[in-house]
Amino acid sequence: MSIDPRRLLGLAFASADLLVELQNGRVRLALGAAQKVMGQSEAGLTGKVWPHLFHADDQPLMDAMLNCADDGVRRGPVVLRLGGPGNRHVRVILRALPENDGRVSLAVTAAQSAGPPLTAGTLHPRESFDDIAKGLFEAARVTGLELELAMVEFAGLETMRGGLTPGEAAALDLRVASAVRAESHGGSAATQLSPDRFALLRTRDDRPDNMIKRLTRMVSAEARAHIVPLEAGGGSARALRALRYALDDFLREGLKDMPPMTLSEAMNRSVKRTLARAGALGVAVSQRRFNLAYQPVVSLATGQAHHHEVLVRFEDGGSPFALIRMAEEFDLIEELDHAIVEQAVKKLANDQDRKLKLAVNVSGRTIVNETFVDHIGRLLSKHDEAKGRLIFEVTETAAIDDLPRANRHIQSLRSLGSMVCLDDFGAGSSSFAYLQQLSLDIVKIDGRYVRELADNGRDGALVRRLVELCQDLKIRTVAEMVETVEVADIVRAAGVDFAQGWLYGKPADRPSPPLRPAPAIAAVARRAGASESWG
């Protein structure tokens, strides 16, 4: 039966606002609502270089899709930003028909933003990838969308990158990020886990072998991948948890001989390994098999150490941050916090000069438990000489789920003579809510903002505004990760009270005076009269 071409055109327009045909990357034909979708007429689009119609940050993604469009496989959909004024997005699906003289057919539809924009050559960080995955899992549950996780490893990519000039390495990273994004759902569901390991969520409408060939060709490095299907009916919360375990497993182990076949298998295998490590951590905590390190926190008015932060170091040399996160996950964190405070109080009690002050970290999960406050009360009643010399830094590694209760406990600690600091301000999404609802003595500014101060960009403005806010609230500030004299001068000029970082000393096995670079000693004039009491 012959089909009227007009019927075929109608069917095409039922799934797209605009139909475009390219040849060698240029628009050969445009049919449909071109003005509405692209901001140009059909005639105006004709002859244009198609990738150049998009935002500069999304052009490499479009290039990557076109460069691998000669295999007859449907690609997309991806959501891209258009170039020019405004913030408009389109959804693009393309396919190159076999033996079609380099012609590519595209279906284009107006679309909403797929999330925070990415700059050229970047992928979403792991935290954002979790959020994207959560949304996709929910969409899959509602719409029946079939998703799978692709764990991709490029053999020798890090070595290849090391042998290039900075410009060549940047071009390689751009090519890699664009190629990985082009394989992900919507062009955005991808993340980088290590220099040569990546993960992406994609729909099950293309053979994995095709994806591997495209990635290898685009990057010029052998790509290997393992596909883990998303089980239907598992629920978005369970699926997200399984995905996290799968990615952690992949990050640690890479693609081994027997990678997991399903997310459930990946989760179960990783959980067993994690439980083994958690058991070892529990023994280390209960038997106090850890050491304390001390890093000076320096007064920017005097260049002298005001106090030292206590940092935990485990005997097995494992990452303290990773082990603390594990302690929170397996409800070991309160016991660890208790143990560290006990060691710190003993250190204060044995200080003959009674001048040493120590700051200890307290998890957001611990601060809401009354047993912690009771424990501190008993410790300080037993070691009265430690009163007024113990500071608590409330961390955001675990969110505080009951701010009113946390504030009551903070005030109890303050009534015992201890100061309380909000650690890593700006690292979590709830920082301002904490500042609003918790009565504090100190705020420690997250180091990622401090390190960029020398560039005098947006982070510098954020730090200055935050310092002004804290001054209005009668709260002192600490800048962490101060590593250069230049940054120290900037935070001092911004009104920050204290600084911590390698400029003043790395963590050591005993509290030591800070390294005192000449600029830190000389720059006492502006705040020379500032009181050094914590009251």
* Grouped pLDDT means (10 residues each) for the chain, 535 residues: 57 75 91 92 94 94 86 81 89 81 87 80 86 84 83 90 90 93 91 92 87 91 87 66 79 72 67 66 80 94 93 74 69 86 94 92 89 93 93 79 90 95 74 84 88 66 84 93 89 92 92 70 39 37
- Are the beta carbons of 355 and 387 closer than 8 angstroms? no
Tokens of 260: 């997991």
Of 398, 391, 397, 365, the closest CA to residue 376 belongs to 391
User: Which phi-psi region, left, alpha or beta, contains residue 86 (left: φ > 0; alpha: ψ -120 to 50)?
Assistant: left
Alpha carbons 523 and 527: distance in angstroms, whole number: 9
Packed helices 263-286 and 333-349: angle between N→C axes, nearest 10 degrees: 30
Alpha carbons 359 and 350: distance in angstroms, whole number: 16
Tokens of 178: 């664009």
- Taking each continuous run of H as one helix and of E as one strand, the counts in the chain are 20, 17
Domain ranges (residues) in the chain: 5-111, 126-274, 288-522
- Are the beta carbons of 241 and 268 closer than 8 angstroms? no
Instruction: Assess whether the region 5-111 and the region 126-274 belong to the same CATH fold.
Output: no
- pLDDT for 71: 63
- pLDDT for 534: 38
What DSSP string describes 354-391?
S---EEEEE-HHHHT-HHHHHHHHHHHHH-GGGTTSEE
- Are the beta carbons of 430 and 399 closer than 8 angstroms? yes
Number of other residues whose CB lies within 10 A of the CB of residue 25: 16
Tell me the CB-side half-sphere exposure of residue 247, using CA atoms within 13 A.
25
- pLDDT for 249: 78
- Asked whether the whole model's pTM tops 0.75, one would answer no
- DSSP state, 52? G
Alpha carbons 491 and 496: distance in angstroms, whole number: 5
- pLDDT for 334: 86
Number of other residues whose CB lies within 10 A of the CB of residue 21: 15
Q: In CATH, which superfamily holds the domain spanning 5-111? A: PAS domain (3.30.450.20)
Q: In CATH, which superfamily holds the domain spanning 288-522? A: EAL domain (3.20.20.450)
Phi and psi at 32, nearest 5°, equal 125, -155
Tell me the CB-side half-sphere exposure of residue 250, using CA atoms within 13 A.
31
Instruction: Go through 438-447 and write b for each residue having 16 or more CB atoms within 10 A of its CB, e for each that does not.
Output: bebbbbbbbb
Phi and psi at 106, nearest 5°, equal -130, 145
Phi and psi at 157, nearest 5°, equal -65, -45
Tokens of 503: 């400029």
Which CATH number is associated with domain 126-274? 3.30.70.270
Residue type, 256: K
Dihedral sign computed on CA atoms, order 277, 279, 283, 288 = positive
